[in-house]
Amino acid sequence: MTPFDGRLGRGAGLAGAFGGIVFALLASAGASRSAHLVQQDEKYPRVNDLELLGSLSCQTGCHDQATPKMPSPTEGYKFIRLWENVVWDSHDLHSRAFKNIEPAKNTLAKSMEVNLKKGKGDAYKVTEDVKCLACHASVVKPVAAMKPAEWTPKSFVTADGVGCEMCHGHGSAYRPRHDAAKRVADPAPGEPTAVVEWRTLPPAEKTKWGLTDLRSPATATETCASCHIGSQKDGRFVTHEMYAAGHPPLPPLDLMAYSREQPRHWGLPSQMSFIVNLAEKDAKKAFDTFHYRSEKIESSVARRFVESSIAALRSTAALTLQLADEAKPKNDGLDFAAFDCYSCHHDLKYPSDRQARGYDGPPGRPQFRVAPFALARTVVGDEELGKQLDTARRDLAFSFGNRSYGDPEAIGRAVAKVNAWCDAAMTKVRGEKYDTKVAEALLERIKSAAAAETPRPVADPELAQLYLWAITTLSLDKEKDGKLPADVVHLREKLDKTVVTRLRPGLPFDFEVKADAKLDNSQKPVSERIGARMTIFNAFDGKAFRDAFGK
Amino acid sequence: MRIVATIIGIGIAVGLATAGRTQPARAEAKPYGVDLPSNVAHSSAASCSASACHGGGTPGTRGSEHTAWAPELGSVTGSDPHSKAYRVLFNADSVRIAKLLGGGPAHENVLCLKCHAPAGIAEPTARAEGVGCSACHGPSDKWIDSHYLPEWKAKSNREKWNEGFVPTKNLTARISNCATCHVGSADREVNHDLIAAGHPRLAFEYARFHFSGAYRKHWEEKTPQPEFEVRAWLIGQAATARAAVDVLHSRAVRAAENKAPWPEYAGLSCFACHQSVGEKQARGSSGNPGWEVFHTATLDAASAHSHLVLPDVKQPVLVKYGELKKAMAASNPKAAAVATLAAAARAELDGWLAEMQASEEAHPRSPAAAIQAVDATLFLTQSGASASEWDSLAAHYLGVAAMYHASGGAKGRPLSTKPLDAIRGGLKFPATFNSPKGLDAGKLRGEFRNLMNAAIEERSR
């Protein structure tokens, strides 16, 4: 279907609206198909019926408007950006995810394939390995309908890379519902002439139709974590074998930093007048539906950051537990990928910083990645809860060091404590109001944790980057004309040679990208982009980092 | 040229034959000098250093052994580093190591004393001597009163060993004994906790240690060059690998009872893991670090070479050893299975060492040693040209360097000088690092090929 067909489709819809019947305003498919599906209305689809539609279905005539047409009867541009596909297509690395594993198209994939063939035989192809496709392509059915064990290369559509529905949910069921509009019989002046009921349905209802509630910080983090941390349940896990063959390391997951540089193809709730107005009129409904409170009450950015930091720790713990559970019956240990890469992977120096700092438990035992623990502890800020997390963390350190590949039984017990902590922490932060004062205190807490010399200075480059990303995130509310406050800009300039201040170093944009933004460095080969990041990562200097926060 | 082709041909044929054979090692033989008899005890050096015995004269003359060994104030030639082994337990490094390990002060910790003052565990007053006479020459309670008498001298080496004396003139016995600390043994080990706390890793190559400038020797070598160094390298490889298998066995047994971490990282290749993520030349491909690469990398070259150097020695059949290496190349091998394999592999290596030991005794000289050194170079450069890890490249370098040194250095083997210098330069760690950051293994493999060509040219003269 061409964009022209799309416009025709919309024309037909408009005609229908004036007839006073249910219609599909933004439908890219013809009106007849929408009408057919809408008749099933309130019956929930079975999960087995959820299927991938592909990004073409989303973009054609709807989410591909570089300049949204205004006004429109439902005023969709007040609710979403409508240029999502344009930004995704030109800037978002998810759209290149499959190209990145094609040996013919880039050297990194080629060398990985050569390395993996050594263990898997000459017939091995990266592009046909479901373990690679799991995160580099779009799977045709959700995991609930088709288990990873049943996957074949044919279970994936590769054209979009990681397409819209990998984050938003398989679209076959919600696709016809999510844009179905009803004409308002007698609209007030300035109000839209048609409403889309779907918008304000409770998130649980939308989820039943397959749409993922990405406005929820916890759900969004869990969705990203499926690939960016890993989830055995979802068939997604970067093994140590893959890393050893050349897969770039996964940086610690920070929902806000990742989505800043994705870049964001959506508006923050505070930028979408539909959501802002709802919060004014019906605060409870706005929070229940969009996890949003008016900015007069709290910073939605701070809330999203805080909840996602706890959710990221929880996802890390979940993966660890899955790996431990798999290891138990085999009397095996955990894959090295469950450990902190930099416990082992550092060039040796003598005397060493590590020896000066001391170790968690006996020296010389590789540990889990500490960054999400330290961040969550700082973010929650409660001393009592902090001590509980320290206990859980010590138990986990013991369980990782107790045996060389970890002690799965002990890991299971320690992770249960981490999970309980995450629940308690989430309950606590959900009871908070992140008003200006609380958000400011949070920012100060992060700055002082970053600069602290005691009990232990920040020595982990991953934690340094999480702190720096957090400082950027919490300055988002002070952003003016797409520019960060001067002190944050200065801080990043001081550190951008030794700390990964940006996931995509050298990117010409920082926050949200409009459809007409100039092209970024995503066209560069993946090996070059990652190389730039790793050079900075390996140059981490703890003292320079701490000093940067000094007066 | 034909001789060279024949030698390489033998190497390949042997490799194939070894792979095909399945029968166990020839004999249950065990050389003297390994596994100290349990009924002997350590004692201090005090009685050795009487001036009429080993404590007289000036270093370099007979009867001056203890004098040469002992630290000497203001000495230019230094002393035997073993004499300082206890003293280092008081330095800042040791204090920090002990603090990180949490087992009390290093100079009182049995774990440390086992190698830094072996006689001092039972006898605290003997600690100050560090690695004293009995540590290398054997616990002397059974022979201290008789070892200067004719009836002692009439005893065979094995009889002496049974009383606790290490017949160090025999290289097999000598190097096996060095390896009990420098590689480890059933009850001595440097584990990864200790290394992470700051203890240097163990990387033992006898010929390199023997000729170290820091080592003031208190004896004169009876076997002349080049046979001494050719044999020292060769036997050293077998004795070192045997010790590595012995440590592994002990670790596996303890791990199978959940009494030790498994696998023990100290037995794995340091730089396979200790490299920055994103370094251009990733080391290894399967994601598993190699087992004891430094101590075993050149064992194949040695086993292909030993029967050409030592009369009456047959090509060793190391089937179990091969299985052990294969098992240790897998991720998280099973400790109990490794313990069984290691015991069998140790028996194979013991059989081979016993044959080499007997041959050493029967044939103190090798008229063709200079040619044998070049032959060893051929085996070594052949396998060095396919090495990828620093440990393996370094072990091959030390082997080739020993052969070069044995046969006269720059004068004897001028063609080898340049590529050897290049390899040594390429193995050096960059300033401020203690690991081979930016190692260019491909370039070093090329230099091993250059060395092989040089050896072929020398051999065909």
Both structure tokens of B320: 């179990």
Which of B101, B332, B437 shows the shortest C-beta gap to A405? B332
Q: How far is CA B217 from CA A528, B82, B313, in A?
A: 55, 11, 30
CA angle A57, A59, A61 (to 5 degrees): 100
Q: How far is A111 from chain B (nearest CA, A)?
A: 11
Instruction: Give the model confidence (pLDDT) of B216-251 as tens digits.
Output: 889 989 888 899 999 999 999 999 999 999 999 999
| Mean pLDDT of the region B7-22 | 44
Q: To which residue do tokens 């050795």 refer?
A: B48
Element (H, E) at B290: none
A328 touches chain B (CB under 8 A): no
Q: For residue B335, tell me if it sits in a domain.
A: yes
B91 within domain boundaries: no
pLDDT surpassing 90 at residue B366: no
Confidence of residue A3 (pLDDT cuts 50, 70, 90): very low
State how far the Cα of A532 lies from the Cα of B348, in Å rounded to an integer: 51
Is the minimum CB–CB distance between B254 and chain A shorter than 8 Å? no
- Nearest one of A88, A102, A90 to A158, comparing CA atoms: A102
Asked whether residue B220 is domain-assigned, the answer is no
Rounded to whole angstroms, how far apart are CA atoms A308 and A220?
Answer: 8
Contacts of A115 in chain B (CB under 8 A): 282, 285
Is B54 a domain residue?
Answer: no
Q: Does B452 touch chain A (CB under 8 A)?
A: no
Nearest to B376 by CA among B461, B293, B311, B459: B459
Q: Pick the residue with more confidence: A16 or A236?
A: A236
Query: In the predicted model, what is the mean pLDDT of residues A497-514?
Result: 83
Which one, of A239, A393, A402, lies nearest residue A323 by Cα?
A239
Name the band, by pLDDT with cuts 50, 70 and 90, for residue A17. very low
| Total structural domains within chain B | 1
Distance CA A215, CA A447 (A): 27
Chain A: closest CA distance from residue B92 (Å): 11
Q: Is B192 on the interface with A (CB under 8 A)?
A: yes
CA distance A148 to chain B (A): 23
Residue B425 half-sphere exposure, CB side, CA atoms within 13 Å?
Answer: 8
Tell me which of A118, A241, A348 to substitute to probe the interface with B (most B C-beta atoms closer than 10 Å): A348
pLDDT over 90 (residue A293): yes
CA–CA gap between residue B255 and residue B248 (Å, rounded): 10
Chain A residues 488-507 with a CB less than 8 Å from chain B: none
pLDDT, mean of residues B359-382: 93
Task: Inform me whether the pLDDT recorded for B333 exceeds 80.
Answer: yes
- Provide the 8-state DSSP code for A337: G
pLDDT of residue A24: 37
- Of A341-355, A428-442, B65-79, B89-103, the one with minimum mean pLDDT is B65-79
- φ/ψ of A139, rounded to 5, equals -85, 140
CB A448 within 8 A of CB A280: no
Task: Collect all residues of chain A within an 8 Å Cβ-Cβ radius of residue B286.
Answer: 118-119, 241, 244
Q: Angle at the Cα of B436 (from B433 to B437), degrees rounded to 5? A: 75
Residues in chain B with CB shorter than 8 Å from the CB of A498 are none
Distances (CA, A) of A536 to A519, A533, B432: 23, 5, 19
Question: How many whole angstroms separate alpha carbon A52 and alpha carbon A174?
Answer: 11
Contact indicator for A272, A200 with CB cutoff of 8 Å: no
Q: What is the phi/psi pair of residue A157, to 5°?
A: -105, 125
Contacts of A406 (CB under 8 A, 6+ apart): A324, A327, A333, A334, A338, A339, A399, A400
Any idea which of A137-146, A201-210, A341-350, A521-530 has the lowest mean pLDDT?
A521-530
What's the whole-number mean pLDDT along residues A476-495? 89
Tell me what the mean pLDDT of segment A406-424 comes to.
97
A121: distance to nearest CA of chain B, Å? 12
Q: Higher-confidence residue: A536 or A15?
A: A536
CA A400 to chain centre: 27
In a domain, B404, yes or no: yes
Are A347 and B433 within 8 A, CB to CB?
yes
What is the C-alpha to C-alpha distance for residues B133 and B219, in angstroms, rounded to an integer? 13
Before B59, cis peptide (omega within 30)? Answer: no
State the distance between the two ends of chain A, measured CA to CA, in whole angstroms: 60
Interface test with B, best of A239, A347, A367, A399 (most B CBs within 10 A): A347
What count of residues does chain A have?
Answer: 551
Query: Within an 8 Å CB–CB cutoff, is residue A530 touching chain B?
Result: yes
SS3 call for A359: coil
User: Measured at the alpha carbon of residue A336, what is the angle toward residues A330 and A337, in degrees to the nearest 5?
Assistant: 115
* Cβ-nearest to A364 among B96, B193, B286: B193
Chain segment B108-132, per-residue pLDDT in tens: 999 999 999 999 998 898 999 999 9
pLDDT recorded at residue B356: 97
Long-range contacts, A545-551 (Cβ 8 Å, 24+): A545/A450, A545/A458, A545/A464, A545/A495, A545/A498, A545/A499, A546/A450, A546/A451, A546/A452, A546/A453, A546/A457, A546/A458, A548/A491, A548/A494, A548/A495, A549/A447, A549/A448, A549/A450, A549/A451, A549/A491, A550/A451
Nearest Cα to B333, choosing from B285, B291, B294, B367? B291
Of the pLDDT bands very low, low, confident and very high (cuts 50, 70, 90), residue B305 is very high
Is residue B25 pLDDT above 80, yes or no? no
Q: Under an 8 A CB cutoff, do A352 and B198 touch?
A: yes
A121 touches chain B (CB under 8 A): no
Is A530's CB within 8 Å of B278's CB? yes
φ, ψ dihedrals at B252, nearest 5°: -65, -40
Report chain A residues whose CB lies below 8 A from the CB of B193: 362-365
Whether residue A359 and residue B196 make contact (CB cut-off 8 A), yes or no, is yes
Nearest chain A residue (CA) to B272: A345
The kind and range of the H/E element at A177 are helix A174-177
Query: Tokens 């250093």 belong to which residue?
Result: B49
pLDDT (0 to 100) of residue B349 = 98
Its domain, for residue B403, covers: 2-33+226-231+252-264+275-460
pLDDT score for B314:
95
Q: What is the mean pLDDT of residues A113-127?
A: 94
- Cβ contact B332–A246 (<8 Å): no
**Rounded to a whole number, what is the distance in angstroms from the first to the last CA of chain B?**
8
**3-state SS, residue B142:** coil
The answer to whether residue B426 is domain-embedded is yes
Which helix H or strand E contains A214, and what residues bound it? Answer: none
B18: nearest Cα among B256, B315, B263, B461: B315
Phi/psi for B164 (5° steps) reads 100, 0
Single out the residue of B415, B65, B390, B7 nearest to residue B218, CA to CA: B65
- Window 97-156 of B: residues touching A by CB (8 A cutoff) are 100-102
CA distance to A10, A31, B294, B320, per residue, from A35 (Å): 14, 6, 73, 73
Give the residue with greater pLDDT, B204 vs B28. Answer: B204
Q: Which residues of A touch B93 (CB under 8 A)?
A: 351
CA-CA distance, A104 to B240, in Å (whole number)? Answer: 46
Q: Check if A350 contacts B (Cβ < 8 Å).
A: yes
d(CA B370, CA B372): 5
φ, ψ of residue B408 to 5 degrees: the values are: 100, 5
Kindly report the nearest CA distance between residue B112 and chain A, in angstroms. Answer: 16
Comparing alpha-carbon positions, the chain A residue that sits nearest to B282 is A244
Q: Is the residue at B47 inside a domain?
A: no
Q: Name the residue among A29, A69, A79, A45 with its Cα closest to residue A196.
A: A79
Reading the block at residue A430, the tokens are: 């959900």
C-alpha radius of gyration, chain A, whole number: 24
What was the pLDDT predicted at B74?
Answer: 61
Q: What is the pLDDT of residue B283?
A: 61
Continuous H helices in A331-435: 341-344, 353-357, 371-380, 383-402, 408-430
Instruction: Please tell me if residue B433 touches chain A, with a CB cutoff of 8 Å.
Output: yes
A358 vs A181, A343, A372, CA distance in Å? 63, 13, 20
Q: Nearest 5°: phi and psi at A243? A: -60, -45
Nearest to A314 by CA among A424, A178, A215: A424
Helix axes A371-380, A436-451, angle to 10 degrees: 140
Q: How confident is the model at residue A385 (pLDDT cuts 50, 70, 90)?
A: very high
Handedness of CA A56, A58, A61, A66 (dihedral sign): negative
How would you label B281-311 residue by residue, b for 16+ Cβ within 10 Å and e otherwise? Answer: ebbbbbbbbbbbbbbbbbbbbbbbbbbbbbe
- Rounded Cα distance, A410 and A414, in Å: 6
* Alpha-carbon distance values, B271 to A337, B127, B267, B277, B331 (Å): 18, 34, 12, 12, 17
- Tokens 């100050």 label which residue? B128
Residue in chain B closest to A358 (alpha carbons) equals B100
Q: Round to whole Å and give the CA distance between A267 and A530.
A: 28
Inform me whether the C-beta atom of residue A398 falls under 8 Å from chain B C-beta atoms: no
- Cα separation, B201 vs B427, in Å, equals 16
pTM above 0.90, yes or no: no
Query: What is the chain B residue with the closest CA to A113?
Result: B285
Better pLDDT: A412 or A90: A412
Per the structure block, which two tokens stand in for A499?
């700390």
Please say if the pLDDT value at position A11 is more than 50.
no
Q: What is the mean pLDDT of residues A112-136?
A: 95
- Residue B162: phi and psi, rounded to 5, are -65, -20
Q: Are B278 and A538 a contacting pair at CB < 8 A?
A: yes
Query: Structure tokens of A38?
Result: 């809408």
In angstroms, the CA A534 to CA A500 distance is: 8
Q: Which residues pair with B353 in a beta bridge?
A: none
Per-residue confidence (pLDDT) for residue A514, from 0 to 100: 77
Q: How confident is the model at residue A26 (pLDDT cuts 50, 70, 90)?
A: very low
